[in-house]
Every structure is written in C-alpha cells, then in structure tokens.
Structure 1
C-alpha cells in the first residue's frame, strides 16, 4: 500500500475499534493504549490519524450521525406525501436504525454526553440537523408560527433522545416498537389535528383535548 493507503487503513481500524470500545466499556474507560492495541497499531500511529481521543470520538459520532441521517432521509422520501406518513416513516426509521446496533445507540445517545464539553458542539449540530428534517416536513417555511415550530421540533427530538437513553440503560430494554409508538403519539399530539393531519402542513396550535 502507498503511504496514504496505509494511513487510511490505520484510521479505519481506529474508527472500528473506537466504535466498539466507546460503546462498551465506554469513552472514559477506554485509553488510547487500548484503542491502539485493538486496532493493532502503535501509539505513534494513533497521532498520525487523530489529534486526541476526543477527536476520534467526534469522528465516530459524526459517522453514526451521517449514516442515520441518510437512512432517515431516504425513508421520508419513500413515504407517501402526507405529513403523518412522512413523519411516522422518519421516526420509525430513526429508532429502528439507531437500535439496530446497540453500539450506535450508546455512542449517539449516551457516550457523546459523557464525553463532555468537547463534543457539545457536535451534538448541538446533530440536534439542529434532525430538527430541520422535522421542520421541513411539517412546515412550508411561510407559516407565521415558525419560531414555535422550531421549539416543538426540538422538543420532539429531546423526547426521542430520552426514550433511546431508556432503551440503552433499561434491563430489559423496552421493545423498539413501543418507542416508535410513544414517539409517534407525541408527534401527533404536538403537531397535528385530526382534520389537518393529512394536509402536509403544520396545524399550529390546537385544542389538546
């Protein structure tokens, strides 16, 4: 292999090692020495690929997010055009994709928080990306309730995050379909009224009864 190929190979091995080790035993319990031993590279080679353990964690987290965003976007694009169908498809795909591999769920919803302030920016960027997906699906950009829409979308993301943390930590974990049902219920109670749920637009404030 060329020097560039060797570097790319080492980087990929480190990413794979970190994906497993940062999920379990966890970010703080995983040393650079252990990462290098698992990836079968030297400590010196580590610093040719990443500047720090936090830098590697960021790369693992961002890869998880990119894969999840792509899967959710594809599911929404394939869904029927009604608001309810689009959001339900996105919610279901998000939860099923993230929980398909417990390592992904732990990295995205538990270890990224435990990593501390160094990854807070990456996490906020991710929350913003998923919030925009909801906003673009629910509103058409001209709704005068747009500021409220943003906060409601942010609240739905927060609710789903807490449900997934529960799935990661609970023993036994709740069935993923129950997580989907709960998230869909929150969405429907928050964003739609029965007569407008099929219109494809945000219904705005409504009687919650």
Structure 2
C-alpha cells in the first residue's frame, strides 16, 4: 500500500520542496558564475542531483527558475534594508544612510547575489523585465516613504529623485562587480550618500 513517503521518510511535498531548494541553490551559483545564457537545464540537474524530469516538476522552464532566484535575492535584500531603516535614528537622512549602507553591504556580502541582481538580470533580457521593474519600484517606494514630501511640493519630484537614486546605486554596484580591482565598499557608500544629499538637498 502506498504511504506517500519514500525510503528517506519524506512526503511527496517534502521531496518536491527539497528538489526545488536544490535547484535554486544550483541556479544561484551557476547563473552568477557562467551566467544565465550558458547554464543549461542539464547542468542545473547535475548540480542539484536530480533528473531532468524532476526539474519540470519544480519549474516550468529555465527562465522560470531564473525569475525565482532573482525574486528571492530581491526579497531578502528588501527585508534586510527595511530592518536597517527601522532601527536607524528617526530623521530621514539617518534612515536613508542606514538603508544605503545596508543595501550595499548586504548585496556584496555574497558576490553571487550582487551578480544576479545587477548583472545577470540585464543579460537575461526580457524574461526578467517585469520582475526587475517591480524590484526597482519596491526600492523606490521605500526611499519615498522614508524621505517624505520635499519642501518645494512639485508633483512627482520625490518619486523621480528616488528612482534616480535607485539607478545610481545599481550602477555603482555594476562597476564593483565588473571591476578588475574592486573599489572599497566604503567608497561606494560614500558616493551613494553624496548623490542622495545633492539630490534631496540634505
């Protein structure tokens, strides 16, 4: 009689979750290493120690897996930055500085995360456009909510400056990822804080 468990005592749901996590882990390393375009499903399955058939029980395609990896990276980063902002002194500048520092240090703590969020997301092309735009929107909203309305009251100005701030930080991290000699993280943080001050008049 079928019991729904295999020889390791795992339910079908647990087996599926285990395979999914192994694929996410394998993709995290491979997408950040050889890159998304060079990573085949066969390569991913070999690294995750599962069959090609099992792959399609977890994800519909390689692109579906890439989206899941990217979304996880973004989600973890959002939580980390939100926590840092919440623990910072109450004035907007201190909170933004804490958020900038945490974003840069958290993302660069693991080079794989930095490469996926700022390099492979672009190389993957259209398959991540909507997910990238959603991530940009989430980080932009976080800045807007932290700084509040600007004194001049011009409609949309805070949003556009926050959007530009997100873009500037992303470009700084692309520079860090691609550099033969990576600039010190403190220099990236200082540059981002300087851009924030000049943009928002702090």
Matched, 1:162 2:185: no
1:12 and 1:133, CA in 2 relative to 1: closer, same or farther beyond 3 A? same
SS of corresponding position for 2:27? helix
Give the CA deviation at 1:41: 0.2
Whether 1:108 aligns to 2:122 is no
Q: Tell me, in whole angstroms, the C-alpha distance in 2 between the residues paired with 1:180 and 1:28.
A: 31
Residue 22 of structure 1 pairs with residue 11 of structure 2: no
1 CA distance for matches of 2:143 and 2:167? 13
Corresponding residue for residue 197 of structure 1: none
Provide the rounded CA distance (Å) in 1 between the counterparts of 2:57 and 2:34.
25
Superimposed CA distance per residue, residues 149-199 of structure 1 (whole angstroms, 9 cap, x where no aligned partner) = 111100010000000000000011111111000000000011024xxxxxx
Tell me the residue number matched to 2:142.
133
Residue 180 of structure 2 is matched in structure 1 by 171
- Contact 2:150-2:158 within 8 A present in 1 as well: no
Using the alignment, how far apart are the partners of 2:160 and 2:30 within structure 1? 35
Of 43, 57, 67, the residue aligned with 2:66 is: 57
Q: Under a length normalisation based on structure 2, what TM-score does the superposition of the two structures give?
A: 0.93
Cα deviation 1:69-94 (Å, max 9, x = unaligned): 00000000000011110000000000
1:97 corresponds in structure 2 to 106
Secondary structure (helix, strand or coil) at the match of 1:30 reads coil
- 1:184-195, aligned counterparts within 5 Å? 184-193=193-202
Aligned to 2:132: 123
Mark the runs of 5 or more structure 2 residues left unpaired by the alignment: 1-9
1:123 CA displacement: 0.1
Unaligned runs of 5+ residues in structure 1 are 194-209
Aligned to 2:160: 151
Give 4+ residue runs of structure 1 displaced > 6 Å after superposition: none
SS of 1:26's equivalent in the other structure is: coil
Residue 36 (structure 1) aligns with: 45
The 1:143/1:122 distance shift into structure 2, 3 A limit, reads farther
What number of residue pairs does the alignment pair up? 193
- Separation (CA, whole Å) in 1 of partners of 2:39 and 2:194: 38
> What residue in structure 1 maps to residue 13 of structure 2?
4
2:56 paired residue number: 47
